[in-house]
Structure 1
Amino acid sequence: MAAMAVADLMVCMFNVILQNIFRYHFLDSWLSYTYVCRFTAFVQVFSIQLSVWFTVSFTFDRFISICCQKLKLKYCTERTASVVLTIVCILSFLMIIPVYFRYEPSSIIDEMPWGCRTVTGYYSSSAWVAYTWIKTLSTPILPFPLLLLLNSLTARHILVASRSRRALRSRNNGENGSDPEMKNRRTSIILLFAISGSFIVLWTPITVINICVGVTETLSFKGSNSLYLAIRIALLLMYLSSCTNTCIYALTQRRFREEMKNIVKYPFTFIELFK
């Protein structure tokens, strides 16, 4: 969860604040320097990649924890978590290295390269086209079925275990009242489908637009305000997706809620001490 939170924070900082707010209001700032522009573009894609695949990794960890009790003892450890996160970071870094070389200076001012524009031949080069499709498949097309599969298997396991528990309780002592354990399991199912559902809903618009643009080979959006607006809304939803999963996971944890209550109560407790 800490890794997911860090990745989501990177998305907020680099993709939202730095790119979509600061850069648009300060056009001639140091962000317009070509090497800085390239680096920020690289980090933006890297942040999105980490946010998505950390979510998939955490979902897989929950699947192992709930459905595979024998494997749980070996897999669900801090060491394994560190190894998995390291592998995801390395693979994501290697995957998006070409993004840095996608851009070239848009102008030279006082022998200094300024601005970033897509390199000549990006849309016509077969190598760049192949890389674009591979990147689109890795994020987010591949995570879609993975999240659905893992969450479906986990929910199925919870439902089967719940039926068995209900049957045993009814057979042993005829209890038909409320069962706290059953309530927790129902909450887990709702949580799982809320996460996978929100991810798919928020990522679907930008995925559909990327596929359509790739198939139709659309190079610019001049004269098409509606398409430009659709892209901006789709990007907004994509960035929002980077925040929802961590919030859902955190807000459903009892210890997190207790700490939040303590933070809210602290100022009033502090005032009471001086009365």
Structure 2
Amino acid sequence: MRGGEPPAPARPPWVAHTLAGVLIVTVVVDLLGNLLVILSVSRNKKLRNAGNIFVVSLAIADLVVAIYPFPLVLTSIFHNGWNLGYIHCQISGFLIGLSVIGSIFNITGIALNRYCYICHSLKYDKLYSDKNSLCYVILIWVLTFAAIVPNLFVGSLQYDARIYSCTFSQSVSSAYTIAVVFFHFMFPIAIVTFCYLRIWILVIQVRRRVKPDNNPKLKPHDFRNFVTMFVVFVLFAVCWAPLNFIGLAVAVNPETVIPRIPEWLFVSSYYMAYFNSCLNAVIYGLLNQNFRREYKRIILSICTAKGFFQESSNDAAERNKSKPSPLVTNNNLVNVDSV
């Protein structure tokens, strides 16, 4: 794609308006929500743990598309075609792929973390020390870059007028498309499914009191945190499965399948996948009490224009609790500060 790009197919005006509206909502919620996630973890001591390192990494993966590729897609919608040149097209497609693969790899990392925490809790602290967790996140991003770089050499990042986007072209190479769907979607999904099935089995054992004695008791907040991340996984799988199955069908028999795929289905599958990037932060706020409380504190801090860069009230409270209370004994009176 080096010259002028063909315009989008002739459609009623409401189609472009709808796609633009969906993308604008996605970008706004993505930016605000994932910034709230990162700020919440950095401000709240209760949220600063090994598991949430992966949550922050996932938020960064979601932010990537909102900062650069999606605004370019919006520009393409408004101009009814790509007019930003070859380099921007390649960068946009590369970053979309980076975000998608980074998301599924981080979701896999979260699932493995939850699996070790709940099913192998006696080994968890050793496996997920702060240093080890940081190394795991770095490994995730190294693998993500390694997975997306081949696209630059096989010419698979192309502009598609149907979706106004520079993205992975499913019809460039059947073998490569099958490999992408398997290693970047199906295989990670299989790992995550295994982890969460094992966790659900343990949860059922705890509820029925047939849990093995060598596993510590499953606490209520552990279960709530697990449910939160399980919902994140399910939504990702639901949003991205249609596009991956279409890609797999195209790769197996492109001549027969491509003409039979309705345009509305192809476009809907893409924008449903795009929309997933803004959902995670909403899920944390709905299902995780600590995130919800920190969201409210951050928003109130911004609205009142004070205390935004100060530590969370939870951290301050914890620090105050750790201070010894000064005792003043005079005439048999005792004054205890900060009760």
Which residue number corresponds to residue 204 of structure 1?
Answer: 241
One-letter amino acid of the structure 2 residue matched with residue 86 of structure 1: I
Q: Highest relative contact order (Cα 8 Å, sep 6+), 1 or 2?
A: 2
CA contact (8 A) 2:175 2:251 kept: no
The change in CA–CA distance for 1:192 and 1:267 in structure 2 (over 3 A counts) is closer
Distance, in Å, in 2 between the alignment partners of 1:188 and 1:117 is 34
The change in CA–CA distance for 1:260 and 1:218 in structure 2 (over 3 A counts) is same
Structure 1: 5+ residue runs without aligned partners?
107-115, 167-180, 271-275
Shift of 1:192: 5.1
Matched, 1:129 2:174: yes
Which residue number corresponds to residue 144 of structure 1?
Answer: 189
CA contact (8 A) 1:158 1:189 kept: no
Equivalent position to 1:3, from 52, 57, 66: 57
Equivalent position to 2:86, from 34, 38, 46: 34
CA contact (8 A) 1:34 1:104 kept: no
Matched, 1:154 2:208: no
Equivalent pairs, count: 239
The change in CA–CA distance for 1:164 and 1:209 in structure 2 (over 3 A counts) is same
The change in CA–CA distance for 1:143 and 1:89 in structure 2 (over 3 A counts) is same
Residue range with higher mean Cα deviation, 228-237 or 95-104: 95-104
One-letter amino acid of the structure 2 residue matched with residue 262 of structure 1: R
Per-residue Cα deviation, 1:62-107 (whole angstroms, up to 9, x for no partner): 111111122201122221221111111111111221212316999x
CA contact (8 A) 2:119 2:199 kept: yes
CA contact (8 A) 1:206 1:234 kept: yes
Distance, in Å, in 1 between the alignment partners of 2:158 and 2:234 is 40
CA contact (8 A) 1:195 1:248 kept: yes
Distance, in Å, in 2 between the alignment partners of 1:105 and 1:238 is 18
Distance, in Å, in 2 between the alignment partners of 1:16 and 1:36 is 12
The change in CA–CA distance for 1:71 and 1:236 in structure 2 (over 3 A counts) is same
Distance, in Å, in 2 between the alignment partners of 1:221 and 1:157 is 44
CA contact (8 A) 1:52 1:139 kept: yes
Distance, in Å, in 1 between the alignment partners of 2:133 and 2:282 is 20
Shift of 1:263: 4.1
Which residue number corresponds to residue 112 of structure 2?
Answer: 60
Shift of 1:197: 2.7
The change in CA–CA distance for 1:143 and 1:104 in structure 2 (over 3 A counts) is closer
Which residue number corresponds to residue 328 of structure 2?
Answer: none
Distance, in Å, in 1 between the alignment partners of 2:265 and 2:295 is 37
Distance, in Å, in 1 between the alignment partners of 2:275 and 2:168 is 26
TM-score normalised by L of structure 1: 0.72
Per-residue Cα deviation, 1:21-70 (whole angstroms, up to 9, x for no partner): 123324788x6222222122111111111011111111111111111122
CA contact (8 A) 1:202 1:241 kept: yes
TM-score normalised by L of structure 2: 0.60
The change in CA–CA distance for 1:259 and 1:186 in structure 2 (over 3 A counts) is closer
Shift of 1:155: 1.6
Identity percentage of aligned residues:
19
The change in CA–CA distance for 1:2 and 1:227 in structure 2 (over 3 A counts) is same
Which residue number corresponds to residue 151 of structure 2?
Answer: 99
